[in-house]
């Protein structure tokens, strides 16, 4: 029962991170989370410890648990690692794509097309509405998760899932445009076509370009958010100066 409650708390907080409800620098209060989730403090602590071990959250002695703010060097390392792992996954998937994974990837692409349906091409640089951002993020996650599953390595799939979530935490829906959705849709379709055709080299090249474009978008978002924020020369994660202090997260 304790495991189920801990997993419930864990999935709740992952979902909150993915939806942007817990932006970088947020201090997590154990009692508040327990009340919101409807569990005791123990499952919340277990879930927080798990997420800290995965690099999704950061514990600061004497301050509590925070959603970390990476400096630009940390962020680049995350995208470099994603590129290495996902390009390798694209090549492996090209030789073992199953209908289940192909169908899931195709569905994610259709979901993105639906978000663009009826849009005037002249409005591509218009920021998306929050509900559109959330649906785009869900479709994007489905595509990348299905790709990693198709590659057949469960441990790498879990690792990339966490890397993608850390990257998503840094995304800002206010700077996401319909062009962002359109570019992702076209890249995903090309990746799926190359994998389905068994073209390993092409699948890797398209995925590499896709992650590079995601990195460029991340830099733009980072500069917008943290122009006067964490200094890029500081190693490791840092916490926003505005975060409230306290003995612990309870």
d(CA 114, CA 111): 5
98/240: higher pLDDT? 98
Q: Which of these ranges, 13-27, 58-72, 82-96, 164-178, has the smallest mean pLDDT?
A: 164-178
d(CA 147, CA 157): 9
Confidence of residue 118 (pLDDT cuts 50, 70, 90): confident
Q: Who's near 53: CB < 8 A, 6+ residues apart?
A: none
| Angle at the Cα of 236 from the Cα atoms of 161 and 17, rounded to 5 degrees | 35
Answer whether residue 239 shows pLDDT above 60.
Answer: no
Question: Would you call 117 helix, strand, or coil by DSSP?
Answer: coil
Q: What is the pLDDT of residue 245?
A: 33
Q: Who's near 39: CB < 8 A, 6+ residues apart?
A: 5, 8, 9
User: Tokens in use for 147?
Assistant: 């790709």
- The closest alpha carbon to 147, from 113, 111, 98, belongs to 98
Q: What is the pLDDT of residue 232?
A: 42
Q: What is the pLDDT of residue 194?
A: 96
224/92: higher pLDDT? 92
d(CA 123, CA 41): 47
d(CA 47, CA 10): 5
- The predicted-structure confidence for 57-74, as pLDDT tens digits, reads as follows 999 999 999 999 888 898
Kindly list the domain boundaries of the chain, sorted by start residue: 2-66, 72-226
Distances in Å between the Cα of 218 and the Cα atoms of 89, 167, 224 are: 22, 8, 10
CATH for 72-226, options being 3.40.1550.10, 1.20.120.530, 2.60.120.260, 2.40.70.10? 1.20.120.530
User: Tokens in use for 145?
Assistant: 């998760």
CATH class for domain 2-66? Answer: mainly alpha
Number of H helices, E strands in the chain: 9, 3
198/171: higher pLDDT? 198
Q: Which of these ranges, 20-34, 94-108, 232-246, has the smallest mean pLDDT?
A: 232-246
Q: Which of these ranges, 60-69, 135-144, 207-216, 220-229, has the smallest mean pLDDT?
A: 220-229
- The predicted-structure confidence for 16-37, as pLDDT tens digits, reads as follows 998 888 989 999 999 999 999 9
Q: What is the pLDDT of residue 172?
A: 74
- The closest alpha carbon to 163, from 74, 60, 49, belongs to 74
Strand order in the sheet with 64-66: 27-28, 64-66, 58-60
Return left, alpha or beta for 152; rule: phi > 0 is left, psi -120 to 50 is alpha, else beta: left
Contact 34, 41 (CB under 8 A): yes
d(CA 177, CA 249): 36
């Amino acid at each position: 029962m304790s495991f189920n409650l801990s997993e419930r708390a864990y999935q709740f907080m992952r979902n909150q991170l993915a939806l942007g409800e817990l932006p970088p620098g947020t201090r997590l209060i154990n009692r508040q989370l327990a009340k919101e989730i409807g569990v005791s403090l123990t499952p919340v602590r277990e879930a927080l410890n798990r997420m800290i071990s995965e690099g999704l959250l950061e514990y600061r002695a004497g301050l509590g648990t925070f959603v970390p703010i990476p400096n630009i060097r940390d962020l680049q390392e995350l995208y470099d690692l994603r590129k290495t792992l996902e390009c390798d996954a694209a090549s492996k998937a090209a030789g073992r794509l199953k209908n289940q994974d192909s169908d899931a990837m195709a569905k994610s692409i259709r979901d993105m097309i639906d978000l663009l349906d009826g849009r005037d091409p002249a409005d591509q640089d218009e920021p998306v509405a929050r509900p559109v951002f959330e649906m785009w993020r869900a479709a994007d996650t489905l595509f990348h998760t299905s790709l990693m599953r198709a590659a057949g390595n469960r441990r790498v799939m879990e690792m990339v899932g966490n890397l993608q979530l850390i990257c998503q935490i840094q995304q800002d829906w206010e700077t996401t445009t319909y062009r962002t959705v359109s570019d992702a849709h076209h890249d995903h379709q090309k990746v799926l076509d190359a994998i389905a055709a068994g073209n390993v080299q092409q699948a890797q090249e398209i995925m590499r370009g896709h992650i590079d474009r995601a990195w460029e978008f991340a830099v733009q978002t980072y500069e917008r958010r943290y122009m006067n924020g964490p200094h890029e020369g500081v190693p490791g994660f840092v916490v926003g100066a505005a975060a409230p202090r306290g003995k612990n997260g309870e």
